[in-house]
Structure 1
Amino acid sequence: MAWRHVGRQRRVVTPGKRLPSPDVGIALLVATMLAVTVGLFVALGDQQTASVAEPGIPWWLLLPLFALAEVAVLHVPTSRGGAHTHSLRELPNVLGLAFLAPTAYLLAHLAGTGAALLLHRRQRGTKLAFNLALFSLEVVVGITAYRLVLGDASPVDPRGWLAALTATLLTDVLSALLIAGVIALHERELDRSVLAQTLTRGSLAVVANTALACLVVVLLVLESSALPLLVVVLLVMFVTYRAYLVLWVGHARVHQLYRFVQEAADLTGAEELVTVVLREARDVMHASAAEVVLLDGRGQIRRRALSEEAPDVVETAEPVPEETWWHCALDGEAVRADVTECDLHGADCRGGVAAPLRLAEAGVTGVLLVHDRTVDVDPFTPEDAQLFATLTAHASAALDNAFMLDKLRRVAAEREHQAMHDTLTGLPNRAGLSQRLEAALDGGTLALLLLGTDDIARVDDVLGHSSGMALLRLLAQRLGEASPEPVYRLEGDQFAVVLAGRAAGDALDLAGRLVAALRQPLLLGAVPLHVTARVGIACAPLDGADAEDLIRLAVLSMHTGAPGEITTAHGKALGVQDGQRRLVLAADLSTALDEGGLEVWYQPQVVLRDGTLHGAEALLRWQHPTYSWVNPGEIVDVAERAGQLLRLTEMVLATALEQRARWQRDGLSVSVSVNLAAQTIHEEDLAERVARHLWATRTPARLLVLEVTESGVMRDSERGLAVLRSLSQLGVELSIDDFGTGHSSLAYLDRLPVQEVKIDRAFVQALEGREHDSAVLRSTIGLAHEMGLRVVVEGVEGTEALRKVEDLGSDLGQGYVIARPMPGGDLFAWWTVRRHPLVCTGPDDAASRSVRSVDDSRQL
């Protein structure tokens, strides 16, 4: 073979190249090649005595040519660890075909190449057996093809040239196939690149070398005295080509170094840069493995290694070895090791090279080293060491800068952490609380709890300041264990919790749990201490939309209440007055359900592409005779506590389906969406109840959309998923409501049988002038579409927001800019006016002005 592409050591096995670990498959392949060789050799029969060209050449005269063809090769490294190998093996092969009998040709070939493999390449065992079996098969296949094409013609005739070319091309392809077979057996996959390159560049080289060999045959037969002239020409060509390769390799080295510098300049993280340095060092130096070895000054070294066996960076720590081949690099000079010196981790390798790393910012010295050539080329040369020293110098500068930036980042992060956290308890402090409130206020509603106690001051007076501080740490720990959200420490004995996207009812529940958690005594040493806390609650936007205002109101409400009491920002003790309100609402809810006092209104959902009406969401409304309009979220809370939630859900479902049927009779065929509260999702007979209502109203299941929250499903995921699957089997469409808040994420959607996601209004409210939020919303919509889900964006309140969500790819839109919630009859009238594609209008549109605005958080 005149030309071969040699890849990384584990990927390509060539004659003269170390083989992967032997296994049964390779042994069977070697045995098969030997059997085929013997069969073909026996089949040659009378070809053993066939005449050969004159003058005859003794077989032993070709023996050194075969050996020289395996030793005198030119290797051109590629940019990523491979090499192109050029040789003149066709010359002795064609001479053997023309001037030797088959037995003599086989003997000369095996003796010459075998000596080169054994003595020069030091091959043993399975590697040597495979290569000799391959050469033997090439010989007999080449003889067979040569004799069949040649016939009675002379080797110097054109037919003889064709015979020689046929034999060399056939053996070249055969060799490539067998090499690819060994790779496939060892790597469990076929590397087609070897075959492709053999059939292109390799075949061209075979043709050229075979033509040269045929010229030598012609001169030997017709004019042997002209051979010295051909030898001179060949020597000049060889020297010229070798000089060209030296220049080419030098240019390639500069290009590789430039590429490394450019790639390293784009990185600032030390860990990421170490990975790039190891990968580039391994590729530039055509090595199997690269390591960064850092000495920490305490008798330990830290290794970060990257190799073909471990493609990810592996970090280890170990004592400094007493003697290593790379230890001299610590003195400031690059060092080179040959095969015998490079004994790493108990495994031999094809040499190594190491250069010093000077990392002043990291406070350590170290070594960058590579070892084990990945291509069948000469061991590392002095030029390799010089290149590696230059590469390591650039790597040292880049790593030093990266370590400095990492150090600055750590210092900045530590200072930011200190600025945002309390040093005594480790909890976020007032600055952290203000930052959290500002972020939560961007998303809409929130509740702020502020808890305080007078017992810390008493402990300070009786047991001393250190005991008071210890009690504060115990109190912080107890509150952190009881609260599902982070606890903040303000000054003194004041602690806070933020409930984003939650209402006062949720804050009341958490406040009750916190007060209850403190009923158990805190053990200060062996002394049990009882702590009584008061809690103040402020809600946004009800009590304000500024972080400092909310904190001030929560502090005032906390001081207003008595110990053990929970007080709102308006001075109402929730333990008495709010409880009375809830009792009244719970009693009146049952009456309202019996007498039809609850209403269901509808908010249109339109197709953003053309403005046509797609469906409507059913929203609960209750105008209480005492408390006026009651928030839907509070209605759901009261119903859940009063055991009326399932009944309330069925009322809304039945009303919505009956209204949809009336629209259908009037010529309006749209879907209707109904919210399911978290508790109802786990009712095992929910699908049967829904089916009864569908049948009663003659509603196709596909026109009912049931909206659920993912957090509600995950309260009892197995039961919830089973109920959702039952609903899906009915043909009902399922939608994830308020997507993007709480526990909702696209990572879990594939577990749910849903067809739609509703983007939470917080995303829409954050769109104005914020490109980051636009990018988040665009990626969310795109991922949902990739999963085959329909996307509804709710809470669209302005024309600019409507335009943006349409541009971002949302399918449906819902919000005040389109229409406010309205009774069912009003929606039909609204649709009658707007049968043509909708025009974006503001919230003051005439069709919407008369509709009462109610906060629809926790809709039903």
Structure 2
Amino acid sequence: MPNAHGDSAGTGTATADTPEPPDGGQASAQARADELRFRLYTAVVLTVGVLAAGAVSTWLPFTGSVHLWWIGPLLAAAFLGAEQLGVNVDVRSGISWTISFTEIPLVIGLLVAPFEVVLTAHVVAGVTTLLARRVTGRVLYNAGAFLLEVTSAFAVAGLVRQILGGADQMPWIAALAGTLTAPLASTLLAMAAVRVLRRRMRVNTVLRLAGRILVVGFVNASVGLTGYLVISNTPEAWPIVLAVSLGLAALYWAYSDLLREQRDMEALTDVSLMVARSGQQAAARPAGRADDVDGGVDIEEWTTLAERIRDQLAAARIVLRLRLDPDESMRTVVVGDDLPTALPVDDPLLRLRGSHVRHLRLTETHPDVRTALLDRGAHEALVVPLRSASQLLGVLEAHDRLSRWRGFGKYDVQLLGTMASHLATSLDNRRLLATLRHDAYHDPLTGLLNRPGFRQVATDPLRENEHSVVLRVDLDVLSTVSDALGYAWADRMLMAAGGRMRDTLGPDVPLARLEGASFAALLVDCDADGAHETAQRLRTQLSAPYPVDRLTVEANAVVGYAATTARENADGVDVDSFLQRADMAVRATRSGEEVRAYVPSMGQIFLRRFQMVTQFRQAIEQGQVSVHYQPKVALPGKQVLGVEALVRWQHPEFGRVNPDEFVPAVEAAGLVGVLTSFVLDTALDRVRRWLDEGLRISVAVNLSVRNLADTEFPAQVADALKRFDVPGELLTLELTESGVMADPERALPILRGLAELGIELAVDDFGTGYSSLAYLRQLPVDQVKIDKSFVFGMGTDLGDLAVVRSIVELGHSLGLTVVAEGVEEDVARDQLEAMGCDVAQGYLISRPLSEERLQAWLTARTVRSPAPASEAVLMLLT
């Protein structure tokens, strides 16, 4: 017969191991209210059962023989045996039905025993089974249900007997009708329990279960009735009846296993899909959001998962404890009855080894585990650790099976073990996915967001907030630290800088390391004044000295920022565009102004630079780029020794473009090789034509630091000299002092290769860099050029005069030719001549001239020496 048991509401809560949950009071109040309603319902069921039993006993008084005393114990034993072969159907919403063979002894009892005997046997057998299996939570309710089942069966059977006119004995049809009434009464009581507990069940579900219960009850009752009638008329046929009964029991048992396997497979599929969907939803969340089980979406996911496990096991409570992050504490999700107390951090169930299921009971456990069960208010529990390799991911607990006949069995242990295995695998995959996703959107060194992560996090806030600011910060000391102390110390500086930014801006500000020593931050609801103040404060913190080992490294930071506008918010925001604007502001910073806001004019400047870079090759082909020459003369003889080739660009849109503007842009774009080849070929062509005219005039070409990193450059120069048939001594290559000193070890082989070609090498802008005499002596250079800033100040600044004199003396002591550039006055020329300077160059002699004007200048201001044509030189006219 189907027996039903109702339980309290399955309320899900989530807590940490130590604090109380925010909604714990509300959940506890609801659970207490449900428990109170069920107690009232139990009292009603028990009272009605007692009253109904008394009424039926009066209506159908005991008329049996005292010599048949053995019928009562025999029926009780039959009821006990029938319950042991029950088929359990666990229904969701905390209700479970047990389909058993109790209809067989009941129908026989209706035929051969008085009401009181059958009632007593059924109640004793049922309560004894509950107590033996430690299912003590609902004994009174089940006792009332037992009373109403037997009472309703005898009442209906008595009415049918009277209708059929069989007052002395109960005909088989009356016994069959009474027997079918018992499972219907049990079903009605269970449905009432569902309503009392405020559960919902669909009508079609109720009708389907009731139909199945009636079919099973009819089959059981028919078997019992048939067996009784056969044996009563043919006593020697009892072996056949017994064989049929055993076959029916085997059929039910097989059906029970098949039904359980089907339910278990459905539950395993549901659990796997729930965890998989949870992982997919976690992966779809924005970068930077923590995968915290306390999050609104996560708690719903894990609660739903725990409810599904609870329904499948018909447990009073499921406790799911998870550690989704190795750095966080264990989180707890509770579904079903509330825990009496918060679980301790040192819970002994967390120390269980292995990953197999433990079936723990109060009467047979270790004292520590017994204490843990008492703290949970549980009589028995299935506990399984969730592990990935040797790492504990969590613990899954099922407390007190909701069944009036039995506790957890071997099938429950197997099911929970398989569920836990799937859950542990899914959790491990989820953690792996979260790790991969975190790595994809975060910088591995500082732990801050990277560029893709910042783009994802900043997009929505920029669109939703009219006043938002993107900050970009650059540390300009990183390369120096890397060269001096190594990359490990530079990494430490970056981590320290990231920590300072986080401390300054707070934990809620999206912060990223873009690349190298560049950082970005997003300020929401921030006006221009607030952005500037924050940028100043950030720069001050980042520019403070950094303790590195036993050293203190002085640092400097520059900050640029770009703010959104209402129009841009309406049209849509591109995070990369704002990062680019902030980068423009950073590059527009100057000494003494380390914080700059982006203004539209900066965009025009960089757009112009971009256009120049993209149009440079075409400009060379179209003749927009040309070479001008500035003469150099010897002191004191005033012979024209050579010229310096200087590039010029006449842009059709921008007009004449200053070399200081386009040369760095071309160099940064990797086009310096094109520029150098063009100037070198043009200059050597001019020298070749001078040689054809009988003039030996050398030409100087400026090199970039990138040329010194190109191992093929000496071969390219050799090829150019060969193509134009120009001796190497008529070509001078000028290199800036800072360019040579950037990486002297790398530049030295290139310079030696050029020197082997007979080319003159000159160090330009000497005195402004950081070269040492040791390196200068190693380099195969022939000339040093005094920077024009010192030559300009010689007439008024004694310090500049001393520097120039020192450079002249230093150059001569090293056997080098000394060239002074920026000579614009006669006084400066005379001073240089008195110091013994070798060569002068500047506006006093000539400005840079185009090739045509240079020819006119040479004709007008020089005279050819009377030497043979092969050795003719030009003398400057005074």
Measured against the shorter chain, the TM-score band is 0.3 to 0.5
TM-score by length of 2: 0.45
- Greater CA radius of gyration, 1 or 2? 2
Q: Does 1 or 2 have the higher relative contact order (CA < 8 Å, sep 6+)?
A: 2
TM value normalised by structure 1: 0.45
